[in-house]
Structure 1
Amino acid sequence: MANKFSKVVKNIYRLPTFCHSYLLTKLFCSQVKYAGTSKVTLHKITHNEVELSIANIKRVQNHIGGVHAIAASLLAESATGIVFGMNVPDSHLPLLKSMTVNYNRRMQGGLQAKANLSQEQLSQITSEEKGDILVPVVITDESGQEPIECLMNWAWVPKKRS
């Protein structure tokens, strides 16, 4: 089932490959301003997988020169929200209910995020009137390690008719 967001993404993928990341990033950051401010970059969007990154640049650094905890959380929320949002019908609102973020060690360099939905989760989103699912995301830093663990609880509810 396609929604407006997934249709725009599909149209971007019809264009030459070299412009996909740029256009996906522009699309997302036009709607999520803080992601644009933080220079989040989208690399891949499908109905069941999203990949994005954030560079360790001055505007997102903490007092010790690493990616700030909130910028890392933004990356996790963005990755899970995008893959979730690709599948929520236009007649429904996607809502973040909760986020669990465990910081296990200092982050080194820029961060990559990959969020996935299972086939069961995809079916649940499109077949149930409302509900919620836990969307995991893997965050790795430039060392290849996972300095934080994140789990986002996303819900969908019918839009109120005006």
Structure 2
Amino acid sequence: MSKILQMYEQVGPEAFSNLIGETAPYFSTIAPVFHDLRPGLAEVSFAKRKEVLNHLGTVHAIALCNAAELAAGTMCDASVGDGLRWIPRGMTVEYLAKADGDVRTVADGSTIDWNTPGDVVVPVKAWVANKLVFRAEITMYISKS
């Protein structure tokens, strides 16, 4: 079991959400709240608040990217097999609608083979209420540690 997943299970979602910002301070800018983390899935949300808004009063594109990278990265860490590690290699994003409220982000790697080194593409989606506002594909490179 990965250290990230072990920490999540030991301290619970609320404490883990606070700790992740201490481990990787740039993620604290969105004040993430974890709802689920397990092999093949991560769900993170963050509130619409002044610190994540653009000049139009909607959630800034980089805040959406930050949430996508956080969800995908923690999910990868929880998913890779023993003796393997991951690193992001690239990210393609689509902004589908204005993010005008609290954001829920889901990285779904349930169909990915996490035990084979090489590139994998992690799909990430973000919603405001039931409206899909953002989609990303993050290429992760899996290698032996």
Q: Give the structure-1-normalised TM-score.
A: 0.81
Residue matched to 1:8? 7
Once the 2 structures are TM-superposed, how far is the Cα of residue 84 of structure 1 from its aligned partner?
0.8
Residue matched to 2:119? 132
For the Cα contact (< 8 Å) 1:24–1:43, is it kept in 2? no
Once the 2 structures are TM-superposed, how far is the Cα of residue 155 of structure 1 from its aligned partner?
1.4
Q: Which has the higher strand share?
A: 2
Residue matched to 1:146? 132
Q: How does 1:78-117 map to 2 (within 5 A)?
A: 78-89=70-81, 91-117=83-109
Question: Are residues 1:72 and 2:64 paired?
Answer: yes
Counterparts in 2 of 1:103 and 1:110: CA distance versus 1, 3 Å: same
Measure the CA separation in 1 of the matches of 2:133 and 2:35: 21
Structure 1 residues not aligned, in runs of 5+: 13-19
Q: Give the structure-2-normalised TM-score.
A: 0.89
**Based on CA coordinates, which of the two structures has the bigger radius of gyration?**
1
Letter in 2 for 1:134: V
Measure the CA separation in 2 of the matches of 1:105 and 1:37: 22
Letter in 2 for 1:6: L
SS in 2 for 1:155: strand
* Paired residue total: 145
Structure 2 residues not aligned, in runs of 5+: none
% identical aligned pairs? 25
Measure the CA separation in 2 of the matches of 1:93 and 1:27: 21
Measure the CA separation in 1 of the matches of 2:51 and 2:36: 24
Counterparts in 2 of 1:43 and 1:59: CA distance versus 1, 3 Å: same
